[in-house]
Amino acid sequence: MTSAASRTELRELLDELREHAVARLAAMDETIAELRADRGADVADDEHDPEGVTLSGEWARAVGLQEAALREITEIDDAVQRWEAGTYGVCVDCGRGIPIARLRVRPFATRCVSCAEKAGS
**Domain chopping of the chain, boundaries:** 4-87
For residues 101 and 94, what is the distance between their CA atoms, to the nearest angstrom?
18
DSSP state of 90: B
What percent of the chain is predicted at pLDDT more than 70?
A: 86
93-105 pLDDT, tens per residue?
Answer: 999 999 999 999 9
Amino acid at 55: L
With 0-12 / 13-18 / 19 or more C-beta atoms within 10 angstroms meaning exposed / middle / buried, residue 10 is buried
pLDDT at 48: 57
Beta bridge partners of 90: 97
Encode pLDDT of 72-115 as tens digits.
Answer: 999 999 999 999 999 999 999 999 999 999 999 999 999 999 99
